[in-house]
């Protein structure tokens, strides 16, 4: 048997190879053990690599580290609602998860990737999983800058985005009960009026974020949809910028009515924007937008999504996309007996067949109700002829 420089030591009845590592970044020497010489040498090499780079190994768990980071770093100077949203994501998806108890220095990209993939397999939506990823990423980057971990692997984590085409296979409207609960939950929220307009006009998020006050007709309770806001990469600078485009189809240019009860919401929003403009003066980006950020500029779609995700979680509602508010609007109209042709026009579909294909599930319910009505009518005829 080949000789080795490592001594053997008995621990808990088992014999191990033993080495006492001394290093300038260790306050006291660290005792390392291995069942084989190879195992022991791998441990010595790994720990020395960390210590050389000033990474001090600790037994802090990722979940505990993340909680401290949220409380003392990431939540600083954030609005109360934003901090509450972070807390909800942490409580619902990190606390008690497989990631929580992994030691920070042992955490790998594969650990995080497997966990996020598992959430998708369990039926969690892309937006929910994306929100979890967006919270984990900055925490990993911070740990790296503080020399708590060796590698910043945050940008190597990917989640697959599902198709969001209106092909009739991705339609998830709210029930009446869920819609009522959502409306209660958004009261006083930053984007309350935006959510209500989506629920009551069926407009897409890009169409609403591109609206200017010139598009709002308070006399006839209508909005003109002639443009849409998109977030695209600039070909020259390679940076992502907001771009105003025309609707993709001729039918996309349309006038959409909104219920009269929405007028006070819009007028209140208009007043707040004017006050903000006066207060900020030349710092205010005067784009005349109905739905603007705190400086009067274009709103980011992601901010709206995160806000909606947080509200849904806090209200105990299932996950819905912003686009599902459009589907909810159309579904309610069908249930109220509105004609497919009218709904097609309001939604901006090119032809009525598109509308009918998307909302097949609603039409099926309507046909069942129609058959029941005919059954009741037949009962009336039978009673009259007794």
**What pTM, to 2 d.p., does this model score?**
0.55
pLDDT value, residue 19: 81
Maximum CA pair distance of the chain? 109
Which tokens belong to 102? Answer: 């992994």
**Mean predicted lDDT score pLDDT of the chain:** 83
pLDDT tens for 18-66 read 888 776 666 677 777 788 888 888 777 766 665 555 545 557 889 998 9
At residue 114 the predicted structure's pLDDT band, cuts being 50, 70 and 90, is confident
Nearest of 120, 116, 124, 82 to residue 97 by alpha carbon: 116
pLDDT tens for 70-105 read 988 888 888 877 888 888 899 999 999 999 999 888
pLDDT tens for 227-253 read 999 877 776 777 778 888 888 788 889
Contacts of 55 (CB under 8 A, 6+ apart): 105, 147, 148, 149, 150
Bridge partners of 18, per DSSP, are 7, 33
């Amino acid at each position: 048997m080949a000789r080795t420089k490592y001594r053997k030591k008995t621990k808990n009845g088992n014999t191990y190879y033993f080495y006492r590592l001394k290093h300038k970044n260790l306050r006291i020497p660290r005792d390392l053990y291995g069942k084989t010489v190879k195992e022991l040498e791998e441990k010595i090499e790994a720990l020395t690599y960390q210590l050389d780079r000033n990474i001090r190994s600790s037994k802090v768990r990722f979940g505990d580290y993340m909680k401290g980071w949220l409380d003392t770093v990431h939540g600083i100077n954030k609005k109360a609602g934003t901090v509450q949203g972070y807390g909800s994501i942490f409580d619902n998806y990190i606390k008690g998860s497989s990631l929580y108890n992994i030691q920070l220095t042992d955490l790998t990209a594969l650990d995080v990737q497997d966990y996020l993939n598992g959430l998708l397999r369990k039926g969690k939506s892309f937006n929910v999983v994306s929100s979890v990823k967006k919270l984990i990423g900055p925490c990993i980057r911070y740990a790296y800058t503080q020399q708590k971990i060796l590698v910043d692997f945050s940008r190597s984590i990917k989640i697959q985005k599902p198709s969001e085409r209106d092909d009739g296979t991705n339609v998830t409207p709210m029930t009446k009960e869920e819609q009522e609960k959502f409306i209660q939950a958004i009261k006083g929220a930053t984007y309350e009026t935006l959510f209500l307009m989506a629920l009551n006009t069926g407009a897409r998020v890009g169409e609403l974020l591109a609206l200017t006050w010139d598009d709002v007709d308070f006399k006839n309770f209508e909005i003109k949809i002639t443009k849409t806001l998109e977030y695209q990469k600039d070909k020259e600078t390679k940076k992502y910028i907001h771009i105003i485009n025309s609707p993709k189809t001729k039918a996309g240019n349309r006038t959409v009515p909104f219920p009269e009860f929405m007028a006070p919401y819009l007028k209140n929003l208009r007043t707040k924007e004017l006050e903000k403009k006066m207060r900020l003066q030349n710092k205010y980006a005067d784009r005349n937008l109905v739905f603007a950020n705190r400086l009067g500029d274009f709103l980011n779609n992601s901010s709206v999504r995160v806000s909606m995700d947080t509200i849904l979680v806090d209200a105990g509602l299932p996950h819905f996309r912003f686009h599902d508010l459009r589907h909810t609007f159309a579904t309610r109209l069908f249930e109220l007996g509105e004609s497919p042709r009218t709904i097609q026009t309001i939604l901006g579909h090119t032809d009525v067949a598109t509308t009918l294909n998307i909302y097949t599930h609603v039409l099926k319910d309507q046909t069942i109700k129609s058959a029941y009505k005919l059954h009741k009518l037949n009962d009336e005829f039978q009673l009259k002829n007794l």
